Amino acid sequence: MGKFARSWALMKASAGVLRSDKSLLVFPLLSGICSLVVMASFLIPVASMTMEGERLGVHYRHGLSTASWTLLFGFYLVQYFVIFFFNTALAGVALKRLRGEEASVSEGLALAGSRIGAIFGYALIAATVGLLLRMVQERLGLIGRFIVGLIGLAWTVATFLVVPVLAGEGVGPVDAVKRSVELLRRTWGENLIGNAGLSVVFGLIGFLLALVSVALVVGAFATQSIVAGVTAVAIVVSAFIVLALVQSSLQGVYAAALYRYAEEGEAGAGFPPALLEQAFRPKG
């Protein structure tokens, strides 16, 4: 309950920033749209390779082929680049808002554009890590999934502040990763993910929304009205999209506030320092 209470307080504080500037929702929306385009564009070569393999009677019993691994790496690289680009734009605007300055969507995109080389470099690093973890998982099966989970958690903690570092300092990708690790270890150690708890809050909200959605859709189709059924489905899909956009925006604002607090000793815009100190306690 202590973790949940702190998470709820953090979410409310982040929501205050989001309420003051709803344009922050545009960044995860653009990121989602571009990510879907990337996924669709990679489905074409994947489908082609699959059909060609079936035509030639090729079966990869010992894992993915070299071409498949190369394609997977390309997908990771482009997908990460899209996500990091818009996250950097969001972090740039959030940092300005936290300082009490005005900022627009175009300014955020311009900032991300000025950091495009570093963003691509970080996407390259993340894609390489992601591919290596996938290879370990493929080779070791159940044990591999456990190892990948632990390494993935460590990587997530270590790189939590990379995006706001890129937005705030404009350093290279390797220096941004080092800076992220330095800031976390200097302030709140390695308990970042366990005590943040934002995912727990949104998991609960998502679960409750799913229950309501099922009741709404079932009730709509029970009326035997196509219009009512389609409307209910549209409402449910829209609700989950909005929830995802809000969660992504809040996490971006939270990361920016955490970075600013680590750098300047204050987060601003409704983030009490004591709250952050409780949420990220150093290891004993």
What count of other Cβ atoms lies within 10 Å of the Cβ of residue 70? Answer: 12
Cα(59)–Cα(65) distance, rounded to whole angstroms? 9
Residue 63, Ramachandran bin (φ over 0: left; ψ between -120 and 50: alpha; else beta): left
Give residue limits of the domains in the chain. 3-279
Sign of CA dihedral 249, 255, 257, 263: negative
Distances (CA, A) of 164 to 60, 87, 104, 200, 236: 42, 8, 17, 23, 33
Q: What is the pLDDT of residue 146?
A: 82
Tokens representing 117?
Answer: 């080389």
If DSSP codes are grouped into helix, strand and coil, which group holds residue 271? strand
Q: Please tell me whether the overall predicted TM-score, pTM, comes out greater than 0.95 for this model.
A: no
- How far, rounded to the nearest angstrom, does the alpha carbon of residue 266 sit from its chain's CA centroid? 24
Distance in angstroms (rounded) separating the CA atoms of residues 5 and 11: 10
- CA-to-CA distance for 173 and 154, rounded, in angstroms? 18
Task: Give, for all 284 residues of the chain, the pLDDT tens digit.
Answer: 455 565 566 667 777 888 888 899 999 999 999 999 998 888 877 666 555 555 544 444 455 667 778 888 999 999 999 999 999 999 999 988 888 888 899 999 999 999 999 999 999 999 999 998 888 877 777 777 888 888 888 888 888 889 999 999 889 999 999 999 888 776 554 345 545 677 778 889 999 999 999 999 888 888 888 888 889 999 999 999 999 999 889 888 888 887 887 777 666 666 666 666 665 555 44
Q: How many Cα atoms within 13 Å fall on the side-chain side of residue 43?
A: 6
Secondary structure (3-state) at 104: coil
Residue entry with tokens 């950097």? 88
Residues in contact with 171: Cβ distance below 8 Å, sequence separation at least 6, in sequence order: 118, 165, 179
Q: Locate 127 and state its tokens.
A: 């894609």
